[in-house]
Structure 1
Amino acid sequence: MKLLVVCGSGLGSSFMVEMNINDILKEFNVENIEVNHTDLGSATSDMADVFIAGRDMEEGISSLGKTVILDNILDKEELKARLESLLKEKQII
């Protein structure tokens, strides 16, 4: 499975969320999930299975496919809960 974190510029916030996702996947002992980040303008529907972004990017990524929208991209506990739900839905954990 591929996850793509999307933000306005594809630099700071999306990279930070990508690192947090990788940490959480390690906590869950989940491997074989590719995580990347990019800016909204470069994101295309074929780049990932699931797109992750903050609430401010929701409208921009909704047409790309399956999305996970974060109310607060700095809240690692929210991210962990959303990832756990996604991984259970996909029967990965």
Structure 2
Amino acid sequence: MEILTVCGMGFGTSLMLKMTVDDILAEEGVKAEVSALDAGSAKGRSADLIMASADLDSALESVDVPKIYIHNLTDTDEIKEKLLQYLNK
């Protein structure tokens, strides 16, 4: 499984989200390749899932990959709940 964590510039927010996702996946025993990218680079990549801040939904709407939008990137519970919901479907 390949997961992209995305932010506008590809630095701070996407890396913070990547670290949180890596921790959640490790806790759950799920193996995945997680990459942090900017929104422009994400448009040219294929993946199983994109996770991004909710404010990027219009920038990523043309990308044909399932997406999870996070409203509070410091809320580990929100990230975990949405990620596990996706993984368990």
Q: Do these two structures clear the TM 0.5 threshold for a shared fold by scoring above it?
A: yes
Which residue does the alignment assign to 2:79?
79
Structure 1 stretches of at least 4 aligned residues deviating more than 3 Å after TM superposition: none
Which residue does the alignment assign to 1:34?
33
Judge conservation of contact 1:4–1:47 (CA < 8 Å) in 2: no
- Distance between the aligned counterparts of 1:44 and 1:76, measured in 2? 26
- How far the C-alpha of 1:6 sits from its partner, in A, is 0.7
Which residue does the alignment assign to 2:46?
47
Are 2:29 and 1:24 aligned? no
- Distance between the aligned counterparts of 2:46 and 2:72, measured in 1? 24
- Distance between the aligned counterparts of 1:78 and 1:44, measured in 2? 25
For 1:46, what is the secondary structure of its paired residue?
coil
Unaligned segments of structure 1, at least 5 residues = none
- Distance between the aligned counterparts of 1:26 and 1:45, measured in 2? 27
- Distance between the aligned counterparts of 2:26 and 2:56, measured in 1? 26
**Greater Cα shift, 16-25 or 63-72:** 63-72
For 1:13, what is the secondary structure of its paired residue?
helix
Unaligned segments of structure 2, at least 5 residues = none
- How far the C-alpha of 1:61 sits from its partner, in A, is 1.2
For 1:74, what is the secondary structure of its paired residue?
coil
- Distance between the aligned counterparts of 1:46 and 1:38, measured in 2? 10
- How far the C-alpha of 1:28 sits from its partner, in A, is 0.6
**Can you list the C-alpha shifts for 1:33-75, whole angstroms capped at 9, x where unaligned?**
1100101121125331111111110111122121001111111
Which residue does the alignment assign to 2:59?
60
Are 2:5 and 1:5 aligned? yes
